[in-house]
Amino acid sequence: MNGNVAVKEVSDGYEGDDLYHLKPLKKTQVNPVFSELCSELGVNYKQQGAWVDEFGKSLREWAEKNFNNPVKTLSLFSGAGGLDIGFHDAGFDIVERVEIDSRFCDTLVENSKPDEYLSKASVVCGDIRDYIPSAVGEIDFIIGGPPCQSFSAAGRRAAGVQGTQDERGSLFEEYVRILQTLQPCGFLFENVYGITGAEKGEAWKRIVNAFSGAGYTIEHRLLNSADFGMPQHRERMFIVGVREDVEYRFPVPTHGPDSPENLPYNSAGSALYGVMNTVKPKQGLGGRFSHLLDEIPPGLNYSFFTDKMGHPNPLFAWRSKFSDFLYKADPDVPARTLKAQGGQYTGPFHWGNRPFTADELKRLQTFPDDYKIIGTRAVAYHQIGNSVPPQVARMLAVSIMEQVFGNKTPIPMPTLPPSKELGFRKRKRLLTKRYSAKAAKAIESIKDDLVKMSILDERGYSAYLGKDLSWIECNDGASFDVTADCRSTGWSITVSDYKSKKNAKLESSVDVFPIEGNEWPIESKKITLYSYSSDVRSYSALWKAFEKELRDRNIKADLVQLCGYYQYKPSFVCRLHVSDENDNIFMNRLKPLSKILNGDGVAEIMHESIMEKKLSVMGDNLIDLAEWLKLLGYEVRNHNTNPQIEEEYYLIPYAFPTLSPLSVQRKKSLKNTK
């Protein structure tokens, strides 16, 4: 079984303009490793559907017949069991799993019952910090990946990555504690790529030094799951630690341009072939952006509706949303990374313009069809998206079984030299060109239907402004009356108390000026918002009414899209004017509010002393001002709302109110509630 295998010609280099269409530069002779491995196992990896399930089953059967001494393995931070499945299939004996989330434990327990996938593994549901490792007995290997939120892209976008300063980011210390107690032959540690950049690299140094200090030689690699047969691009950092007398190298990719055979990626459409959905697929998304999903070409996201992609009605600003916002998977290529959690518009979505079912997500994450995920739809999504893909775990486990424990595998697995750089991140940077071409083709086919909505130049309505910052047009129980006069010569939006007297006086106004040189989608460059109400909430109502006109006229989805993401230069500035006779609306906070509208103290993380100076406030008045701004609808962040922000620092991303009922920041407290 480990004899000579046939060789064939494959490319030794590639050229092309994107990730999926590459041309060979030259030919070289290589061993067709993965195809031979599948042949030995009796698996047809070219078939559509869940061939990875058959691969895992056949690999497990082969291991049971050929490995006499089980490798006793402890699983930490087990989640739904993705790593456990892969290592179990490769012949590792998972003896115990430790997980804190009781919902995830329900899944682990269910699949540990007799005749289920991991029937021999016990489950410890509790905090890793309370776990006593000596009770598990002798352990040969440890696997696990601590929570990654403190190193994630969401953390970076929130205000930089806090890393090991976050309580979750320090859980690697518990991993090290258990290693030092049990002294296994080795371990595998998984986390997000952002772990290397946390705290300017200092967190990564501490993690590597801690593992080395526990007596292990470290080999680490950033891997893309699609390179190992997954129908999904998912970049994760893996660390394998071994004793000093053992050398370990990561396996070469089995699929894609970096694989010896240049096998095509496993596409999302192929992976879902024949899936039996146990729950009927949910049709549509609901909400005000749901209709946009129908127009987005497979493989693209909200950026389809941006100037950058050439859309004639660019509702969104470039890079103003996460890349998974309204992302629709392409059936012909691997999907982008599944997310453990997200909002209503967090993709990937099915190319049939609907959310994926849990059964479909299991296929995309390479969970076996017969592996049971327990919980509601949201809980199931969380568990699947949070897991290490079993197929990636299988290939890593096979390489570890061979190199660390000296067990012969069906086919010797070639390894990556430390100096060998994989090309998936470079190829990723080439995708914009492909996306732009796809967007242009889609726009060309529908451009005759892309017109601005026909809205009266002048209209009036009444609306209710809720405590949750909802803005609902209604006739009964309204808060304000609104008149919007939106002509090419100038926009004038007026807010007054509901059914107020006609002789109400002007209390305040805001002028909005486009910054010269920026794209400005509104015909008029003169926009004024007028308040004829002494109610402080009328200030919020002005911006809600302005945003409604942008949305209803199909100009922009919201104010942030008009302004642009806060880390870029804004497209407009504002000026506040208040009546000289006004003595009750903005008296104490007029000056700081005016400064904020002018852009002072905005879009930059700054120490409270600097912000106090910029906004002309003193001492404890800053936190009071911040709380008041939140009531008006401003997003304000500090250490208590976003742990990535250092203590005594603040961030006001935008010069205008942006919070809505769905905003996560709306419910967070700026004050320490402990």
Q: What is the pLDDT of residues 199-227, one digit of tens each?
A: 677 888 889 999 999 999 999 999 999 99
Q: Residue 24 domain-assigned?
A: no
The rounded mean pLDDT for the chain is 88
Q: Residue 614 domain-assigned?
A: yes
Of 150 and 439, the one with more pLDDT: 439
Q: Residue 421 domain-assigned?
A: no
- Average pLDDT (10-38) is 58
For residue 90, is pLDDT > 50? yes
Cα 175 from Cα 177, distance rounded (Å)? 5
The pLDDT score that the predictor gives to residue 165 is: 45
Selecting among 38, 105, 148, 563, the annotated active-site residue is: 148
Active site residue 105: no
Read off the pLDDT band of 134 (50, 70, 90). Answer: confident
Q: How many CA atoms lie within 13 A of 652 on its CB side?
A: 32
For residue 125, is pLDDT > 90? yes
Is the alpha carbon torsion for 383, 387, 392, 393 positive or negative? negative
Cα 409 from Cα 36, distance rounded (Å)? 12
For residue 274, is pLDDT > 70? yes
The pLDDT score that the predictor gives to residue 157 is: 46
Read off the pLDDT band of 30 (50, 70, 90). Answer: low
Clarify whether residues 165 and 299 are in a common domain: no
Domain count, the chain: 4
Cα 649 from Cα 645, distance rounded (Å)? 7
For residue 22, is pLDDT > 50? no
Q: Are 443 and 450 in contact (CB under 8 A)?
A: yes
The pLDDT score that the predictor gives to residue 25 is: 43
Q: What is the domain extent for residue 305? A: 290-355+432-449
Clarify whether residues 539 and 610 are in a common domain: no
Q: Residue 194 domain-assigned?
A: yes
Q: Residue 363 domain-assigned?
A: no
The pLDDT score that the predictor gives to residue 527 is: 96
The pLDDT score that the predictor gives to residue 140 is: 97
The pLDDT score that the predictor gives to residue 365 is: 98
For residue 333, is pLDDT > 80? yes
The pLDDT score that the predictor gives to residue 244 is: 82
Read off the pLDDT band of 166 (50, 70, 90). Answer: very low
Cα 145 from Cα 75, distance rounded (Å)? 9
Clarify whether residues 578 and 664 are in a common domain: no
Read off the pLDDT band of 428 (50, 70, 90). Answer: confident
All residues at 6 or more sequence positions from 513 whose CB lies less than 8 Å from its CB, including other chains: 525, 527, 572, 573, 574, 575
pLDDT in tens, 615-645: 988 766 899 999 999 999 999 999 999 988 9
Clarify whether residues 597 and 508 are in a common domain: no
Q: How many CA atoms lie within 13 A of 106 on its CB side?
A: 9
Clarify whether residues 498 and 576 are in a common domain: yes
Cα 179 from Cα 512, distance rounded (Å)? 60
All residues at 6 or more sequence positions from 28 whose CB lies less than 8 Å from its CB, including other chains: 9, 10, 11, 12
pLDDT in tens, 476-529: 899 999 999 999 999 999 999 999 877 788 999 999 999 988 889 999 999 999
Q: Residue 481 domain-assigned?
A: yes
Q: Residue 537 domain-assigned?
A: yes
For residue 198, is pLDDT > 80? no
Read off the pLDDT band of 88 (50, 70, 90). Answer: very high
Last residue of a domain, one of 534, 564, 583: 583
Clarify whether residues 145 and 262 are in a common domain: yes
Clarify whether residues 538 and 644 are in a common domain: no
Largest CA distance in the chain: 96
Clarify whether residues 574 and 632 are in a common domain: no
The pLDDT score that the predictor gives to residue 512 is: 96
Clarify whether residues 669 and 603 are in a common domain: yes
- Average pLDDT (436-455) is 78
> Which segment, 52-56, 114-118, 669-673, is predicted with the most confidence on average?
52-56
Clarify whether residues 592 and 579 are in a common domain: no
The torsion of the CA quartet 130, 136, 141, 146, rounded to 10 degrees, works out to -20
| Residue the block writes with tokens 């308040």 | 531
Domain harbouring 130, CATH code: 3.40.50.150
Domain harbouring 671, CATH code: 1.10.10
The pLDDT score that the predictor gives to residue 579 is: 77
Cα 189 from Cα 141, distance rounded (Å)? 11
Of 381 and 16, the one with more pLDDT: 381
Residue type, 597: L
The pLDDT score that the predictor gives to residue 96 is: 97
Clarify whether residues 577 and 614 are in a common domain: no
Cα 277 from Cα 519, distance rounded (Å)? 46
Cα 118 from Cα 113, distance rounded (Å)? 8
Clarify whether residues 439 and 461 are in a common domain: no
Q: Residue 14 domain-assigned?
A: no
Q: What is the pTM of this model?
A: 0.85
- Give the angle 578-583-585 at the CA atoms, nearest 5°: 65
| Residue the block writes with tokens 């916002």 | 325
